[in-house]
Structure 1
Amino acid sequence: MAPDPAVAAGLRAARRVLLERYRKELQAIDSPLTADERTWTECSLQGERIIADCATAIESGRVVDPDHPMNAVFRMSEGRSDRGIRPHNSVRAGMLLVEIVLAEAAALLRGHPGAFELLELAAATLNRGVHIRLEAGAKGHDSFLLNEVRAMIDADRRKLARDIHDRIGNSISLAMRRIELAAVRPDDVTAVPAAVSALTDAMFQLSALTTELRGSVADGCLRTALAAFVESMRLTTPSVAIRVNGVQTWADPEVIDEVFLILRECLRNAIAHAEATTVTVNVDIAPYEISAMVQDDGKGFDPGRVVRNNGLSSITERAEIMSGVLAICSGDRKGTQVSLRVPIVAGSR
């Protein structure tokens, strides 16, 4: 089998035409690799190198291994993953490039006495070049995912530390101060009940945190998750009734999860502070909106005079992040009603 420099030169000369054809075919399948100039420039550079290796194989009469550093492909893949481009997009693009380059090589070799052998060399070189790059790209994607998981774990650990400090630590600290006060003022009849109340609140908070750590409501049913939280309290009073209407899958699991966290905090506040005999939770999930209400018949409070770290600021922020609206209506001996409305964006599922 004789190498053919003329065919190799023809393939090199056609590289810009081939890359333009490559780009158009990627655009025809809505590939994200042509979504912006930066991504396409990276893609076309790899395509140009693969075409060059294929031409070298025809010119030299041997299979050519890529001599370009694959660590650049590794880093490029990490960047692609960060922009939402997944490995299957690269696999499909690689298959398209092989088809385009092989078709051009076959056309150039038409009538050549060693066409079959040279085309076989070209195919082997193309396969090797694309395979090695896809392998490096898959490793880059794995690296990106591992970094994402590590970041999520770090964020969860920081959140857990904040929750323990703000929600449990504050209650225990308050109980300690009350106990210390009782030691120096034995005639103060309010100190011990206040300490017991603070410790009870800490127990509620601890139970809420352990319930949250057992799993996300997105893995199950909203009503079941709320009922499990109430059951974990081992209550004698108040009586809690939960009603959930509608289809949970109309909303994103992340939205349902956030709604659960808001309702759970409302329940926790009602159970811990309201001195209520009954608490009701009503949730309606429509295709366009989630509406929910938590109502108790307890002693009520003035929302404008509540101290920080009581959970009300947190649930308000959660509602606002979802473009929702949370309203609290309460008064002395009038009970408390918390209403929540969260829009469901069309096409989000």
Structure 2
Amino acid sequence: MLLHQAILTRVVRGSQARTTFLNDRVLSARREERRRMARDLHDRVLHGIGLAIQGLDLHRYHAQTSPALARTKIDTAIGLLRQVVHTLQQFTLELRRPVADGGLEQALRSYLTSHVEPPVHVVMHTRGDLASLPAHVSEEVYLILREAARNAVRHAAPSRLEVSVTVDDRALRATLTDDGRGYLPGACSPAGGLSAMRERALGLNGQFSTTSAPGAGTRVDVRVPLGEPAP
């Protein structure tokens, strides 16, 4: 009896430790997501507003002595403010629940259509019943692939993105491949987007890896167990 109780105690403690570990991973990923959004708000929104204000000041300065130059300054300011509005609209969409009733596939297709613009060519493949995925799995995998696509477009200058998601009874497997400039392994900051993606995958008891080399593009791989223990 004492041995049985000792085994149960050890199992419970191990389960609690594992749960705490996974919760910490999820919280870490969410903190990194907030830091990324704060950086984007500073770099894209506040910077744009600052330049627009500068343009309006220059318009006022030149209004009497050089009306034509003053008009160019206000036109530039209006263009900057329109960019800021567009950026804020994108942030508003991202702050909503990422995966709604349409599920993971629809959310991914919608993001890729609206945020990955020509000349980048996007190909997406799915196999299996993505609609049957648990909501929290769909949402976290969406956030991982969204960050991977954003990183590729922003930093790798690709001409092609290929996304693949496969679901079976045992696991979800997802990949995102680009043909961009690539990078040296270990060259990315651990506080960057790769860290947040890895934390999200680990929070699902899953696996995350990247393969890249300068000039050879980048491949992101995610595996999440479904109804089976992680290997």
Conserved? CA contact 2:45–2:88, under 8 Å = no
Which residue is 2:51 aligned to? none
The correspondence of residues 268-283 of structure 1 with structure 2, limited to 5 A, is 268-283=150-165
1:207 & 1:271 partners in 2: Cα distance?
19
Q: What's the CA shift string for 1:118-145, capped at 9, x where partnerless?
A: xxxxxxxxxxxxxxxxxxxxxxxxxxxx
Cα 1:295–1:275 change in 2 (3 A) is: same
The answer to whether structure 1 residue 165 and structure 2 residue 38 are counterparts is: yes
Structure with more strand by fraction: 2
The answer to whether structure 1 residue 231 and structure 2 residue 104 are counterparts is: no
Q: SS state of the match for residue 181, structure 2?
A: coil
From 127, 134, 149, the counterpart of 1:245: 127
Conserved? CA contact 1:250–1:286, under 8 Å = no
Conserved? CA contact 1:207–1:232, under 8 Å = no
Q: SS state of the match for residue 227, structure 2?
A: coil
Which residue is 1:210 aligned to? 92
**TM-score when normalising by structure 1:** 0.42
Q: SS state of the match for residue 186, structure 2?
A: helix
Letter in 2 for 1:266: A
Conserved? CA contact 2:98–2:142, under 8 Å = no
Q: Cα RMSD over matched residues?
A: 3.1
1:302 & 1:206 partners in 2: Cα distance?
33
**TM-score when normalising by structure 2:** 0.61
1:234 & 1:344 partners in 2: Cα distance?
30
Please report how far the alpha carbon of residue 278 of structure 1 lies from its aligned counterpart in structure 2 after TM superposition: 0.6
1:273 & 1:290 partners in 2: Cα distance?
27
Instruction: Flag the structure with more relative contact order, 1 or 2, with Cα contacts below 8 A and sequence separation at least 6.
Output: 2
Which residue is 2:179 aligned to? 297
Cα 1:203–1:273 change in 2 (3 A) is: farther
The correspondence of residues 82-231 of structure 1 with structure 2, limited to 5 A, is 162-169=35-42, 209-231=91-113
Which residue is 1:317 aligned to? 199
1:236 & 1:249 partners in 2: Cα distance?
29
Cα 1:345–1:204 change in 2 (3 A) is: farther
Which residue is 2:168 aligned to? 286
Please report how far the alpha carbon of residue 166 of structure 1 lies from its aligned counterpart in structure 2 after TM superposition: 3.5
Count of residue correspondences: 164
Which residue is 1:17 aligned to? none
1:309 & 1:170 partners in 2: Cα distance?
17
Please report how far the alpha carbon of residue 159 of structure 1 lies from its aligned counterpart in structure 2 after TM superposition: 8.5
Please report how far the alpha carbon of residue 265 of structure 1 lies from its aligned counterpart in structure 2 after TM superposition: 0.6
Which sections of structure 2, spanning at least 5 residues, go unmatched?
A: 1-30, 49-83
Q: What's the CA shift string for 1:160-185, capped at 9, x where partnerless?
A: 8644314443567899xxxxxxxxxx
Conserved? CA contact 1:218–1:256, under 8 Å = no
Letter in 2 for 1:268: R
2:47 & 2:215 partners in 1: Cα distance?
25
Conserved? CA contact 1:211–1:229, under 8 Å = no
Higher Cα Rg, which structure = 1
Which sections of structure 1, spanning at least 5 residues, go unmatched?
A: 1-157, 176-201
2:205 & 2:124 partners in 1: Cα distance?
24
Please report how far the alpha carbon of residue 219 of structure 1 lies from its aligned counterpart in structure 2 after TM superposition: 2.4
The answer to whether structure 1 residue 265 and structure 2 residue 147 are counterparts is: yes
2:225 & 2:86 partners in 1: Cα distance?
30
1:341 & 1:314 partners in 2: Cα distance?
15
Please report how far the alpha carbon of residue 270 of structure 1 lies from its aligned counterpart in structure 2 after TM superposition: 1.1
Q: SS state of the match for residue 169, structure 2?
A: coil
Structure with more helix by fraction: 1
